[in-house]
């Protein structure tokens, strides 16, 4: 049996046209696909990087009348976030730990641990803030006492206005980027 011979036929004009069309369509779909990826990526990049560029407004929020707080005690207070979205509902409510230092002085701590952001709890009997996630411990003044937190508890500025304690709200300061 003779070895199989390959038959090379000259490419017809119709074949060449078809190959050109395939190449054009492949190029077009690659270009459109790339364009779609870029267009879809813009909102994502905006979401990721806008907090680094956009300044969040800082607003003083009332957290209660001065006489409600006892000197030397630390209590939880809640207030509306600095930039509540119209559809945020109850999620725009945030919290802080407020300590009355003296008749006229208050210190407000963020509730979020500086390790990975878990909410810390105040343990009055031990005078410590405890983080339930990885055992982070903070002293009453917010300094790190033990565990993985790299920084003290961030503080919000606090003041008294017209008999009310107010806290200057700002983004939740859980990383060095937001200080």
The footprint of ligand FES (CB under 6 A) covers: 113, 115-116, 118, 131, 133-134, 136, 147-149
- Closer Cβ to ligand FES, 158 or 174, answer by number: 174
Calculate the alpha carbon distances from 160 to 6, 46, 60, 122 in Å: 94, 37, 10, 23
- Closer Cβ to ligand FES, 136 or 173, answer by number: 136
Provide the greatest CA pair distance for the chain.
110
CA distance 145 to 137: 5
CB 174, min distance to ligand FES, A: 9
CB 57, min distance to ligand FES, A: 27
- Closer Cβ to ligand FES, 77 or 120, answer by number: 120
- Closer Cβ to ligand FES, 133 or 160, answer by number: 133
Calculate the alpha carbon distances from 3 to 10, 35, 110 in Å: 22, 50, 84
CB 131, min distance to ligand FES, A: 3
Report which DSSP code applies to 152.
Answer: P
């Amino acid at each position: 049996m003779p070895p199989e011979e390959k038959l090379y036929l000259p490419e017809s004009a119709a074949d060449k046209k078809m190959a050109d069309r395939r190449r054009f369509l492949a190029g077009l779909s690659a270009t459109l696909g790339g364009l779609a990826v870029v267009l879809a990526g813009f909102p994502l990049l905006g979401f990721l990087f806008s907090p680094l560029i956009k300044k969040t407004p800082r607003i003083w929020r009332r957290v209660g009348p001065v006489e409600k707080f006892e000197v030397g005690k630390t209590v939880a207070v809640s207030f509306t976030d600095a930039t509540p979205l119209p559809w945020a509902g109850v999620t725009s409510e945030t919290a802080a730990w407020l300590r009355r230092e003296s008749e006229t002085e208050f210190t407000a701590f963020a509730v979020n641990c500086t390790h990975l952001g878990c909410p810390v709890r105040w343990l009055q009997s031990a005078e410590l803030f405890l983080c339930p996630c990885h055992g982070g411990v903070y002293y009453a003044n917010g300094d790190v006492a033990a565990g993985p937190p790299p920084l003290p508890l961030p503080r919000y500025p606090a003041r008294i206005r017209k008999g009310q304690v107010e806290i200057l709200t700002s983004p939740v300061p859980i990383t060095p980027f937001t200080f």
